[in-house]
């Protein structure tokens, strides 16, 4: 190898190399941090809601008859749905994960406690089918019994005495508890006591960007407003055929209401994470573009250097360099520039990441992002320089004696 003379020759014409090294450094910096952001977004997108999303759909029913008997209407609807072949379970509730709109309450361990001590939680009103319809698994305690379910008109504000909490909410409420939180009492709103009857593994709140997204509580109550949200969980593979079927059945069973917002959970997730997906797409585009531009910059500099050195390449060939040695010269030269750029970029990338972690609460860089980015840029450099290097290797040694 001829690292020494190659490096010394580069120092004689620094400007071009420094610019390219800088470009590589900037690309590295942006690439690494874009990947960190994309990873965070992708992690968010990949978080499970707790529901059996692939086999669940939801819709709303709005009654416009002022004195409709909502209690029997909802019972009839649920009977109809639950008796359809392919339906695993169904529930009427107020919202569901990723929906962005829902009900929240502050929870406390003591009645009359200072409300600033309260822990926020999403509230889902359900019956004894709620746990299964929401795809949750009870990890401690027992599900609601049918006689625990109460019925309330929307104006009433009495709370049932039972609740099922997610494990995340239980941990937040009782961080010290080692054994079981089942049977413990917590207080909600105006000091209504709630007895925890069960803990479920996971059920997200409707607001996916809320820091407390994993804190939810199921309440055994049906609120008899004119607006109802239904959540239907099907056996695998039945979702798509059941959706129009349910819509038609319900629409025909009662002409005094409209069925709306019929949607799969897949679609709900897609809509909920639209911003994150758009961000990932945009960053992918930017990083790809930057890498391509850097690659073209390397091609440009290498082509310029090959033209500038046409004569010297001929001389080197005359002095005994074979084609491979000429190619290697330009590859090594690129490796040096790339390494300087990548090393600088690596340092800048870490600094920028620290800044972003501190300023925007971004999650810290995964250790493997930097070596992967290094490898990618080294590879891009070598691929970019291969064309011009190949051209250089085809320069005839006769140049040395011709065109004096």
Q: Is 120 helix (H, G, I), strand (E, B) or coil?
A: strand
Q: Does 47 bind another protein (CB under 8 A)?
A: no
255 vs 402, beta carbon nearer another protein: 402
1 vs 46, beta carbon nearer another protein: 1
**Total number of residues that touch another protein (CB under 8 A):** 27
Q: Which stretch binds another protein (CB under 8 A): 72-80, 273-281, 296-304, 393-401?
A: 393-401
Q: Does 401 bind another protein (CB under 8 A)?
A: yes
Shortest Å distance, C-beta 3 to another protein: 11
Q: Which stretch binds another protein (CB under 8 A): 23-31, 99-107, 276-284, 308-316?
A: 308-316
CA distances from 150 to 68, 99, 166, 207 (A): 19, 25, 21, 26
5, 111, 237, 371: which one binds another protein (CB under 8 A): 5
Contact criterion met (CB below 8 Å) for 220 and 162: yes
- Segment (H or E) for 67: none
304 vs 324, beta carbon nearer another protein: 324
Shortest Å distance, C-beta 332 to another protein: 12
Tokens standing for 370? 């930097």
Distance in angstroms (rounded) separating the CA atoms of residues 332 and 7: 9
Give the pairing of strands 87-93 and 119-126: unpaired
Q: Which stretch binds another protein (CB under 8 A): 9-17, 33-41, 53-61, 232-240?
A: 9-17
316, 333, 381, 395: which one binds another protein (CB under 8 A): 316
Q: Which stretch binds another protein (CB under 8 A): 121-129, 246-254, 263-271, 320-328?
A: 320-328
Distance in angstroms (rounded) separating the CA atoms of residues 200 and 218: 10
45, 323, 382, 387: which one binds another protein (CB under 8 A): 323
Q: Which stretch binds another protein (CB under 8 A): 160-168, 201-209, 321-329, 372-380?
A: 321-329
Q: Does 397 bind another protein (CB under 8 A)?
A: yes
54, 258, 289, 325: which one binds another protein (CB under 8 A): 325
9 vs 356, beta carbon nearer another protein: 9
The residue ranges of DSSP E strands in 224-376, in sequence order, are 227-234, 257-264
CA distances from 385 to 119, 290, 297, 388 (A): 59, 17, 10, 6
88, 99, 257, 317: which one binds another protein (CB under 8 A): 317
Q: Does 390 bind another protein (CB under 8 A)?
A: no
Distance in angstroms (rounded) separating the CA atoms of residues 330 and 306: 8
Shortest Å distance, C-beta 333 to another protein: 11
Using CB atoms within 10 Å of the CB of residue 360, give its burial: 0 to 12 exposed, 13 to 18 middle, 19+ buried.
exposed
Block residue for tokens 């926020």:
120
Q: Which residues contact 224 (CB under 8 A, 6 or more apart)?
A: 70, 71, 74, 151, 152, 153, 154
Backbone dihedral region for residue 50 (phi beyond 0: left; psi -120 to 50: alpha; all else: beta): left
361 vs 404, beta carbon nearer another protein: 404
137, 139, 324, 383: which one binds another protein (CB under 8 A): 324
Q: Does 400 bind another protein (CB under 8 A)?
A: yes
Q: Does 3 bind another protein (CB under 8 A)?
A: no
134 vs 335, beta carbon nearer another protein: 335
Q: Which stretch binds another protein (CB under 8 A): 78-86, 190-198, 225-233, 319-327?
A: 319-327
Contact criterion met (CB below 8 Å) for 373 and 28: yes
Closest residue by Cα to residue 228 from 250, 199, 201, 204:
250
Q: Does 319 bind another protein (CB under 8 A)?
A: yes
CA triplet 19, 22, 26: central angle to 5 degrees?
140
Shortest Å distance, C-beta 299 to another protein: 21
- Segment (H or E) for 322: none
List contacts with another protein (CB under 8 A): 2, 4-5, 8-9, 12-13, 311-312, 315-325, 396-398, 400-402, 404
């Amino acid at each position: 190898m001829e690292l020494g003379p190659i490096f010394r020759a580069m120092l004689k014409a620094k400007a071009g190399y420094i610019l390219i090294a800088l470009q590589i450094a900037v690309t590295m910096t942006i690439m690494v941090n874009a990947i960190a952001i994309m990873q965070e977004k992708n992690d968010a997108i990949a978080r499970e809601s707790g529901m059996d999303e692939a086999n669940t759909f939801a819709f709303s029913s709005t009654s416009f008859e002022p004195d409709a008997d909502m209690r029997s209407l909802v019972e009839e609807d649920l009977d109809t749905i639950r008796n359809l072949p392919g339906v695993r379970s169904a529930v009427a509730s107020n919202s569901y994960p990723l929906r962005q709109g829902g009900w929240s309450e502050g929870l406390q361990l003591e009645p009359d406690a200072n409300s600033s001590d309260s822990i926020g939680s999403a509230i889902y009103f359900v019956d004894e089918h709620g746990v299964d319809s929401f795809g949750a698994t009870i990890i401690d305690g027992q599900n609601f019994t049918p006689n625990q379910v109460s019925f309330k008109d929307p104006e009433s504000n009495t709370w049932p005495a039972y609740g099922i909490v997610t494990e995340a909410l239980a941990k937040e409420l009782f961080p010290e508890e080692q054994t079981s939180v089942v049977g413990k009492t917590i207080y909600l709103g105006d000091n209504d006591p709630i007895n925890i009857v069960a803990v479920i593994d996971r059920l997200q709140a409707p607001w996916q960007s809320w820091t407390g997204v994993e804190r939810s509580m199921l309440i055994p109550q049906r609120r008899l407003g004119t607006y109802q949200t239904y959540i239907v969980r099907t056996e695998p593979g039945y979702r798509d055929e059941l959706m129009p079927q349910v819509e038609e059945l319900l629409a025909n069973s009662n002409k005094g209401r409209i069925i709306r917002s019929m949607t799969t959970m897949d679609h709900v997730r897609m809509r909920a994470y639209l911003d994150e997906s758009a961000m990932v797409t945009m960053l992918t585009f930017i990083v790809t573009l930057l890498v391509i531009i850097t690659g073209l910059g390397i091609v440009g500099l290498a082509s310029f250097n090959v033209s500038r050195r046409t004569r010297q390449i001929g001389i080197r060939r005359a002095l005994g360099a074979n084609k491979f040695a000429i190619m290697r010269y330009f590859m090594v030269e690129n490796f040096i520039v790339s390494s300087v750029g990548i090393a600088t970029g690596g340092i800048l990338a870490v600094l920028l990441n620290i800044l972003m972690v501190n300023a925007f609460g971004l999650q810290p860089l995964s250790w493997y992002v930097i070596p992967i980015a290094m490898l990618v840029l080294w590879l891009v450099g070598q691929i970019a320089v291969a064309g011009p290097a190949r051209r250089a290797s085809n320069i005839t040694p006769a140049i040395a004696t011709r065109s004096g």
